[in-house]
Copies of this chain bind each other. A is one copy, B any other.
Amino acid sequence: MNFASDNTAGAHPDVIAALGAANHGHVPSYGADLLSDGVQTRIREIFEAPEARVYLVATGTAANALSCAVLTQPWGAIFCHRNAHIEEDECGAPEFYTNGSKLVLVDGADAKMDPTALERAISHTGRGGIHNVQRGMVSITNATEAGAIYAPAEVAALSEIAKRFHLPVHMDGARFANALVAAGCTPAEMTWKAGVDVLSFGGTKNGCMGVEAVVIFDPKRAWEFELRRKRGGHLFSKHRFLAAQMQAYLTDDLWLDLARHANEMAAKLSAGLQAIPGAKLVHPTQANAVFAAFPRGAHKRAQGAGAYYYLWPFDQSLEGDESVALAARLVCSWATTPEEIDEFLSHLG
List B contacts of A74 (CB < 8 A): 92, 95-96, 99, 231
Cβ-defined contact, A241 with B99, below 8 A = no
User: Which of A26-34, A191-199, A317-325 forms contacts with chain B?
Assistant: A26-34
Cβ-defined contact, A226 with B130, below 8 A = yes
Flag whether A115 is at the interface (Cβ < 8 A): no
Bound-state CA distance A227–B99 (Å) is 14
Cβ-defined contact, A91 with B227, below 8 A = yes
Cβ-defined contact, B26 with A127, below 8 A = no
- Given A59-B235, A234-B233, A238-B210, CB of A92 within 8 Å of CB of B103: no
Cβ-defined contact, A132 with B88, below 8 A = yes
- Given A25-B10, A57-B233, A314-B128, CB of A100 within 8 Å of CB of B96: yes
| Subset of 25 A-B contacts with CB under 8 Å | A4-B26, A10-B23, A11-B238, A16-B20, A19-B209, A26-B308, A58-B236, A59-B233, A59-B234, A60-B237, A61-B230, A75-B92, A75-B227, A89-B132, A90-B230, A90-B231, A90-B233, A91-B130, A92-B101, A92-B231, A95-B102, A96-B99, A204-B237, A209-B238, A234-B234
**Proximity string of chain A (200-225) to chain B, C-beta cutoff 8 Å, 1 when within and 0 when not:** 00001100011000000000000010
Cβ-defined contact, A11 with B26, below 8 A = no
List B contacts of A236 (CB < 8 A): 58-59, 210
Flag whether A164 is at the interface (Cβ < 8 A): no
Chain A interface size, as a band, is 35 or more
Shortest Cβ-Cβ A-B pairs, 4 listed: A62-B233, A95-B100, A2-B26, A7-B237
Complex interface residues of chain A between 1 and 20 (CB less than 8 A to chain B)? 2, 4-5, 7-11, 13, 16, 19-20
List B contacts of A240 (CB < 8 A): 10
CB distance from A320 to the nearest CB of B (A): 20
Flag whether A133 is at the interface (Cβ < 8 A): yes
List B contacts of A90 (CB < 8 A): 131, 230-231, 233
